Chains A and B, each alone.
Chain A
Amino acid sequence: MSTTTTTSADAPTRAAVRRAVRRAPTRPHRRAGEPGTRLAHVIMGVGMLYFAVPLVWILIAATKSQPDLLSSPALWFGHGFDLVDNLRQLFHEDGGVYGRWLVNTALYSGLSALGATALCALAGYGLARFTFPGKRFLESALLGMIMVPGTALVLPTYLLLSHIHLVNTMWAVILPSLLSPFCTYLVRVYVAESVPVELLEAARMDRAGELRIFVQVVLPMIKPVIVTVFLFTLVATWNNYFLPLVMLSDSKLYPLTVGLTTWFNTAQQEAGTRMLFNLITTGALVAIVPLIIAFLLLQRFWRSGLSSGSLK
Chain B
Amino acid sequence: MTGRGARTIRVDTLARVEGEGSLYIKLVGDRVADVKLKIYEPPRLFEAFLRGRHFSEAPDITARICGICPVAYQMSAVHAIERALGIRIDPAIRLLRRLFYCGEWIESHSLHVYMLHAPDFLGYPDAIAMAADHRAVVERALRLKKIGNRIVQLLGGREIHPISATVGGFYRTPTKQQLSELVSDLEWALEASLETVRWTAALEFPNFEQDYEFVALRHPDEYPFNEGRLVSNRGLDIDAAEYEDHFVELHVKHSNALHSVVRGRGSYLVGPLARFNLNFDKLPEVARTVALEVGLRPPVKNLFRSIVVRAVELVFACAEALRTIHEYAPPAEPRAEAPNRTGVGQAITEAPRGILYHRYALDEKGLIITAKIVPPTSQNLRQIEEDLREYAARLVAWPTEEATWKCEQAVRSYDPCISCATHSLKVVVEREETGAD
A and B physically associate: no
Q: Which residues of A contact B (CB under 8 A)?
A: none
